[in-house]
Chains A and B, each alone.
Chain A
Amino acid sequence: MEKLLQVNNLSVSFDTYGGEVQAVRGVNFDVHKGETLAIVGESGSGKSVTTKALMRLIPQPPGRIKEGEILFEGKDLAKLSEKQMEKIRGKDISMIFQDPMTSLNPTMKIGNQIMEGLIKHQKMSRSQAKKRAVELMELVGLPDAANRVDQYPHQFSGGQRQRVVVAIALACNPKLLIADEPTTALDVTIQAQILELMKDIQKKTDSSIIFITHDLGVVANVADRVAVMYAGKIVEIGTVDEIFYNPKHPYTWGLLGSMPSLDSADEDLYAIPGTPPDLIAPPKGDAFAARNDYAMKIDFEQQPPMFKVSDTHYAATWLLHEHAPDVEPPASIQRRMQGFAQEAELNTKGDRS
């Protein structure tokens, strides 16, 4: 598959009074055409900062891209001028934000907010852009679009607003859509609707999606591949199946274990002990070592490299080193993994019949 985006050794830091916060520390990943990459991790793991850096939306100062390349169709976005970036934002790469209640301008008509990108990037006239805005609103499933195009955000519900946000992001048929926790602020029914909408649109437009979330249920639903981030680094990356059925990093085990499920009512929900490290002074070795039940001496000394599990599956844990002892994931996680596998089997059987 053709690569749309390739991120090489990206590091982003924020200069604060307390010191340099290394929010993203050398991240590598790529996104192929038409695929959905999910980035998961807990709050403060650098997911949002990574994707904002892709669009160069990190406020500078205090933030800065310290090093690394962001190759989008061969062009290094990290080196473009602000003017050049303005031509890419909204046209080639666009973004869906987390909170639909605050991500629309309260004093501007919905139509105008959708039209803005069309007028700027596709040089449409106002009337053309308005016609297209109505079409887009219909595409994202907003009824009575012809009238509602002249309404203000407060006249829309939360789910409807998120549909508007999706319409804005889709306006210029972007090649890459970054969705920064697009369903976190919505209730579960609306969540499912928005996810369906995004999958549907991806099928129609063949765009790539980077999907940031901390909801693994959503990941299983939408993603082709998953990158797990911890303390500003990607600790494991692989296809959805590999991450869910054969996770290798203890942090991924923890994440999967802490995912509530309907059939695990009798046991306590697992919580990863401790707190994430201070990124002003990140630990010398593996950043997860202090919270890791399986940590070895070397975890506190040296950062693990990315070990190859398969052609598509990599994990940064010393447990994969040839001299490391064989460690099995905890029993509860194993049960989970089996559960996922059974579910998947049922689903595929269901598809066949």
Chain B
Amino acid sequence: MARYITKRLIYMLLTLIIIATFSFFLMKMLPGTPLTMEDKLSETQKEIILEKYGLNDPVPIQYLKYMGGLAVGDLGISFQFDNREVTDIIMDRIGPSMQLGAQALIIGTIIGMLLGLVAAIYHNGFLDYSSTFVAVIGKSIPSFIFAGLLQYFIALKLGWFPVALWGSWQHTVLPTVALAMFPIAIAARFMRTEMLEVLGSDFIQTARAKGVNKFGVVFKHGVRNALIPLVTVMGPLAVGLMTGTLVIEKIFAVPGIGEQFVTSITTNDFPIIMGTTLFFSFFFIFIILVIDLLYGIIDPRIRLAEGEK
């Protein structure tokens, strides 16, 4: 197992180097420089600044310099915020995004799974249709509509939670709920389909022939066998949720990283673009590793195959 994980970590590193290279050259193909929007600066002033930050060097030289810095963990300094380190800015902004994402993911997965289970158990009954209805709503209505509705009814009319901004845990409730709608819908749909298939399999009949009741059949025999596809879709979704969502962060005025990322692209803030991209990529690859390890925990057949590698 340790060997397997080491091997995976080496692959992760290679993947990151490749991603860094591609993003770097792609970014350099963007028109303009970080100073394009600065009208107040004269051409000579701009030249001095570009020279100072090494932006006049040929692109391959810039690339080598950047990768050299990366090797020692230096992501560079932001152009947009004077002299602030990129690492600092990411760490500053990632907290709220991660928290919202994690909350939405956990709540969404749990509620979604329960909805899916109920739908599968009462297949073609009223509860099935109701939960499918919730799933369709959650998947088809964009989260900013929910966000607006929540702000208007829950925050403004009822005054239960703050409308926006960041601070106490109460501030996290509404954005979490708005974000959770999508994972609820996805989890419910997958859980329902998988559970229906599992409940039709032979070993469920064996369990029933042993005298196991409906509850035991679903929870002891069913759920674990239905989890694999769910874990597969929830992984990338987790990354998407936790690396910040521009729309929800804007609506609730959350100081998250999603907004930061978009601003950095429009202002050609190269170090921030690279830093955030690499951070997201790392996170994504890491989650994939976690999912692969989870597969092994859920299904013993996959565990053995890994051990043999």
Contacts and interface: CB of A to CB of B under 8 A. Distances in A.
Given A89-B211, A120-B210, A107 B300 contact: yes
Contacts of A117: 210-211
A86 B202 contact: no
B201 interface: yes
A212 interface: no
User: Main SS of chain B's interface residues?
Assistant: helix
Interface residues of B, number: 22
Interface in A155-186: 155, 165, 168-169, 171
A256 B51 CA distance: 97
A57 B208 CA distance: 8
Interface stretch (A2-10, A91-99, A233-241, A261-269): A91-99
A95 B225 contact: no
Contacts of A97: 202, 205-206, 209
Contacts of A87: 211
Contacts of B203: 102-106
A87 to B, nearest CB: 7
Interface string B208-228: 111111100000110011000
Interface string A103-128: 11111100001001100110000000
Contacts of B202: 97, 99, 102-103
A97 B206 CA distance: 8
Contact of B298 (A57, A107, A120, A165): A107
16 contacts: A86-B213, A87-B211, A90-B210, A95-B209, A99-B202, A103-B205, A103-B206, A105-B206, A105-B207, A106-B225, A107-B224, A117-B211, A165-B206, A168-B206, A168-B210, A171-B210
Interface of B: 201-203, 205-214, 220-221, 224-225, 298-301, 304
Closest 3 CB pairs of A and B: A90-B211, A90-B210, A102-B202
Given A55-B209, A88-B211, A99-B202, 16 more contacts: A89-B209, A89-B210, A97-B206, A97-B209, A102-B201, A102-B202, A102-B203, A104-B203, A106-B301, A107-B225, A108-B221, A116-B210, A120-B211, A120-B212, A168-B210, A171-B210
